[in-house]
Structure 1
Amino acid sequence: MRRISSLTRVAVGVASLALAATACGGTSSDSSSSDSSESKGGKGLAIAYDVGGKGDQSFNDAAYAGLEKAKKEFGYQTADIEPTDGETDADKEQRLVSLAKQGYNPVVGVGFAYGPALEAAAKKYPKTSFGIVDSVVEGDNVASLVFAEQEASYLAGVAAAKATKTNTVGFVGGVDIPLIHKFEAGYTQGVKDTKPGVKVLSQYLTQTAEEGGFSSPDKGKAAAEGQLEKNADVIYQAAGLSGQGVIEAAAKKKVWAIGVDSDQYKQEALAAYKDYILTSALKDVGGAVYSLAKSVEDGKPLTGVQTFDLKVDGVGLADSNPKMGEIAGLTDAVAKAKASIIDGTIKVKTE
């Protein structure tokens, strides 16, 4: 059994970085700091994006924020590579191997889908540090960066229960997999613990990521519209790029949406809908990515399972929208729930 540890607060604050990314394809690398890069010894952090790529205003962009922080602090060359449609594990492995072969260190696969590919690449390049987000991969040179998504989702459920006027709220998951079940489980528990009479509608967009569950705003919009027709007035989405469609549908009906992973109230691409983004369940993917990069830079690479939870501010709930404070009891209820989760009074379900 490998050691399971919680990261220290070195990760805190990365989630608040401004995410100015825009969608693009292919490979992106930075050479503007080449002089500094050479003095520091060459290439540093590289990330390979999950489905949806850079510009999703959520999961992938949070990882990019960590890369940008590392690049600025350590002054080395970085790289970030987009996924391709219909790619195989072999394609992912080739991408990771290419980055390691070029000398990037660490190399991070953003998303559980990189599991088999990253395990294979790490064996081929034992002197390179690898990281994977949202999955556990064995290897002496691998750091598995995992999160207590259910805890942040519980807080989102508390907020939804306090905000609903119809006593019906919704959840839209991108893909019907155990990872997203954690979001739903925590959210539903938070709603029910706060206001038992509230009905929770739930829908998953697809059974597999290849079907577009994390990358199809139109699917998210259609699912949200169905829940709105059933009287939901708060909808929480854990659906990657598809979540933008959920937010759009909620805003057009002038009801609440709850974002995920990044503080979506602050996202430029979602500015037209921000007044209806009540809050977001935060997941400090950027902090995880940065922490791994810092550990490599310090000569003490992280390995094993690294867990981000409420105790280390690895997950949380955004409070950027001032309208949260106008809803009776919401702020106090969230604060109380957070304290109870941290001290163990509340045990949050994962399924």
Structure 2
Amino acid sequence: MLKKSLSLLLVLVLVLGTVVGCGTPGTDNDTDEGTNEGTDNGDGEKIKIAMVTDFGGISDESFNQSAWEGLQRAQEELEIKATYKESEKEADYGPNLENLLDEGNDLIWGIGFNMSKDIEEAAEKNPDQKYAIIDFAYDDTPENLVGVVFEANQASFLVGYIAGKMTETNKVGFVGGVEGNVIDGFDYGFHAGVKYANPDAEVIRQYAESFVDSTKGKAIANSMYQDGADIVFHAAGGVGNGVIEAAKEQDKWAIGVDRDQSDLAPENVLTSAVKRVDIAMFDIAERLQDGKFPGGETIVYGLDDDGVGIAPTSDKHVPEDILAEVEEIKQSIIDGEIVVPYNEDTYEEFEAK
């Protein structure tokens, strides 16, 4: 469990009951997994937390899925009631948020920076409703809204270091989804890590302009492998599934993102840059339960609190000595000795040093 503040006292009563195990989400885009009597919201009802997914859906093997896993854990351990609605296009955001408001949820999440405008508008329109968003920080956050961001550039630096050390061709690739501040962190963090490990290595990049088109991800990765890259890192949501499929077919390395993606191709996923959206979802749920909802704030998760990192399965393919170096670099980042870039300007500063 992550905490950015002092330990919180439990002020709401936990009532234990029968816990129903979490199953496969239903096809109606609205699940109700909790049937046990749990912590109430002051009105004698269980605390209800819901989320609206971004493109890719609840089983995207990426941040939407990680977010839902965090709510499922909160449902089991904190005994809240968790639901979700899936978005297939931008036009779904508003109606999904409105439906979850009508259903009486205590906290409504928007998963992904694409939803920032819709969440902010909903929060301003409904000041008594609590909202939260993954991957976005507002300049002036409404008091009923919390932003959650991750120092993904730090995790990307670590997997970049691994790629720089392990490439046999001195050429690696980066596949991004859609350009923007969030993906810039992955992009430039990875570039910096590669160069820190191996100044002679070349990094080639391409954006898919999508977070869902796995076919395009596969085509981009195949092109990179044919061009001599032997390791490709993606930060592209569902597009990355195609990257990993290409690595499997070409018998090359891929580096996963957000979740430990080794299960998608156990012999071809070298490591993953993990962004613990699940832990953030659980943490905010617990703060809400404790009566300490951090409205009006932006909560940042990084290496120092294990909010980001490399996948635990990395030791399957990454040599022990390189992993030891990664641990030393991790500590240097935490201590401020290495400042990881997060965009083009900070990358140029990093290179100059």
Tell me the SS of whatever aligns to 2:72.
Answer: helix
Equivalent of residue 143 in structure 1, options 140, 143, 146: 146
- Choose the corresponding residue for 2:274, options 257, 282, 291: 282
Partner of residue 231, structure 2: 234
Partner deviation per Cα, 1:105-153 (whole Å, 9 max, x = no partner):
2110000111111111112322222100011232001110001110000
- Of 242, 248, 251, the residue aligned with 1:245 is 242
**Residue of structure 1 equivalent to 2:95:** 94
* AA aligned opposite 1:50: D
2:256 partner letter: G
In the alignment, what sits opposite 2:51? 47
- Preserved contact between residue 283 and residue 315 of structure 1 (Cα < 8 Å): yes
| Per-residue CA distance 1:47-80 (angstroms, 9 max, x = gap) | 1101101111111111011110111122232211
CA-atom RMSD in angstroms? 2.2
The answer to whether the 8 Å contact 1:45/1:70 transfers is: no
The Cα offsets for residues 231-286 of structure 1, whole Å up to 9 and x where unpaired, read as 11111000101101001111212111100000111x4xx1xx21111110010111
Indicate whether 1:324 and 2:317 are aligned: yes
CA distance in 2 between partners of 1:255 and 1:195 (Å):
19
Contact 1:205 1:219 in 2 (8 A): yes
Q: Choose between structure 1 and 2: higher helix proportion.
A: 1
Q: 1:179 aligns with which of 177, 182, 185?
A: 182
**Cα displacement (A) at 1:324:** 3.2
Segments of 5+ residues of structure 2 without an aligned counterpart are: 8-21, 344-353
Which of 81, 85, 89 pairs up with 2:85? 81
Q: Take 1:181 and 1:9, find their aligned partners in 2: how far apart are those partners?
A: 32
Question: Do structure 1's residue 28 and structure 2's residue 30 form an aligned pair?
Answer: yes
- 2:75 aligned to 66, 71, 75, which one? 71
Counterpart of 1:191 in structure 2: which amino acid?
A: V
Task: Report % sequence identity.
Answer: 35
Partner of 2:4 in structure 1?
7
Distance across 1 between alignment mates of 2:33 and 2:277:
24
Moved more, 68-77 or 215-224: 68-77
SS in 2 for 1:224: helix
Matched position secondary structure for 1:69: helix
Q: Distance in 1 between matches of 2:280 and 2:160?
A: 24
Equivalent position amino acid for 2:301 in 1: F
8 Å Cα contact 2:177/2:207 also seen in 1:
yes
Q: 8 Å contact 1:174–1:205 — kept in the other structure?
A: yes
Q: Which has the larger radius of gyration?
A: 2
TM-score (normalizing by structure 2): 0.86
Counterpart-to-counterpart distance in 1, 2:243 and 2:64: 18
Structure 2 contact 29–84 (Cα < 8 Å) conserved: yes
- The gaps in structure 1 that reach 5 residues or longer are 1-5, 11-19, 207-212
Alignment pair present for 1:202 and 2:195: no
Give the SS at the match of 2:317: helix
Letter in structure 2 aligned against 1:350: Y
CA contact (8 A) 2:258 2:273 kept: yes
**Does structure 1 residue 224 correspond to structure 2 residue 221?**
yes
TM-score computed with the length of structure 1 as normaliser:
0.86
Distance 1:9 1:277 in 2: 37
Pairwise mapping of residues 292-331 of structure 1 onto structure 2 (< 5 A)? 292-303=284-295, 304-325=297-318, 327=319, 329-331=321-323
Could you tell me whether the CA contact under 8 Å between 1:324 and 1:330 is conserved in 2?
Answer: no
Aligned-pair CA distance for 1:332: 1.8
Cα drift, residue 84 of structure 1: 2.3
In 1, Cα distance between equivalents of 2:103 and 2:312: 41
Work out whether residues 129 and 296 of structure 1, in 8 Å CA contact, stay in contact via their aligned partners in 2. Answer: no
Give 3-state SS (helix, strand or coil) of 2:56's partner.
Answer: coil
Q: Secondary structure, in 3 states, of the residue corresponding to 1:275?
A: coil
AA partner of residue 55 (structure 1) = S
Contact 2:56 2:88 in 1 (8 A): no
Q: Counterparts of 2:228 and 2:87 in 1: how far apart (Å)?
A: 37
Please give the alpha-carbon distance, in whole angstroms, between the structure 1 residues aligned to 2:168 and 2:23: 35
Q: Using the TM superposition, give the Cα deviation of residue 328 of structure 1 relative to its aligned residue in structure 2, in angstroms.
A: 6.5
Change (3 A) 1:125 1:38: same
Rate the CA distance shift 1:24–1:42 in 2: closer, same or farther, 3 A: closer
Match of 2:126 in 1: 125
